[in-house]
Chains A and B, each alone.
Chain A
Amino acid sequence: QDLPPFTEDCRSDAYPPPVKDKVGTYVLNLDQAPEDRWTGLVKPLTEKLIVLIQDIKDLVGIFVNETKAVDYLDELLAPMADTFPEPYPGELKGIANATGIPLGQVILYNVFYEVFTV
């Protein structure tokens, strides 16, 4: 199309994609307590989550003192959990417990869409 090689003619060969790229499935049992239902998914991915959130913190650090900002965010955002509708407070606290990531940062990750629209 218009700007090769950054654009291309309409693909007709992309499907099926490689099996290795197919995403797995996690069963979220809503009969389980909110605090426990995500643990089976997030606990094994703790390192990857920490790296992701560290990336966001590093970006914050470009503009302000990272340590202070992160402490402030934790202090500001953690209490927000209890203002969310059920079952989200329990789910977010459960993820924080399972991964060891501070609750404020788990909340930042979960409201990032609202933040990012700026």
Chain B
Amino acid sequence: CTSLVVEDKTGDLFHARNLDFGLFLGWDAKNSTWALTERLRPLIINVDYQQGGKTVGKGVHFAGYVGMITGMKPGVLSLSMNERFQAEGGFIGIIEWVLGQRDGQWMGFVLRDAVVKATDFNSTLQYLTSVDLLAPGYIILGGNSTGQGAIITRSIGTKADDVKMLNPSNGTWYLVETNYDNWESPPFFDNRRAPATKCMNTMTQANVGLKGIFNVLSTKPVRNLLTTYTALMHVRSGTLDTYLQYCPQPCFPW
């Protein structure tokens, strides 16, 4: 996965993400594609959460998966979650859960509740930094005012290893998160961060908008064989546009 949260020169915020999934879960030799990735694409749907006829949240789902890993509360905030690989992964959380230890929570459910019930960026940031989770992950949050952008690096339990914030006044006008801790270099065999960073700098802050960040996320290897969709979010206007993504060969396998 690759998530971007970006501030333009007027202080407006954009959030976008590629959802990559299906690694090593079956290779389709005939088509040179990952089997599960191709199965997931037809199930992708935007969901407009309504209560009393009013929109209280929006999300991008694989039909049948009721949790939220990409979503927004129009006018308030946007969110995406990328996988974090850790030895202490979700499986331990599941075992604890099955054994009756129920204080940890499931990522997709927590994020959906956080978005639908969100009142503002800061309280949601605090909540997602400390809520007890069964699995690690990177939670990328965007808001509706200047500087409201963050990468929350979560372990299981109530621990956040790091919170990296947007800081446009000192030149940090965008944040990029793939699947590796932002304070370390990504592995040489899966460095999507450098190409994404290069293209963000090539685009420059003056050209920030849905078009520019879609182009960045469509550039190989940020777009790769695992990429199922690109979601574009603009909180102030409540825009959530999702587009299926493909990567015809030759293409990076992840």
Contacts and interface: CB of A to CB of B under 8 A. Distances in A.
A5 to B, nearest CB: 4
Interface stretch (B90-98, B140-148, B158-166, B170-178): B90-98
Interface stretch (B2-10, B119-127, B213-221): B213-221
A42 B66 CA distance: 11
B85 to A, nearest CB: 7
B208 interface: no
Interface residues of B, number: 73
Interface in B209-231: 210-212, 214-216, 218-221, 229-230
Interface in A1-16: 1-3, 5-16
Nearest to B202: A10
Interface string B70-99: 000000000000011110011101100110
Interface residues of A, number: 60
A41 B60 CA distance: 13
Nearest to B51: A30
B112 to A, nearest CB: 9
Given A28-B49, A118-B91, A84 B64 contact: no
Given A84-B109, A110-B106, A113-B83, 4 more contacts: A31-B50, A38-B64, A99-B64, A114-B90
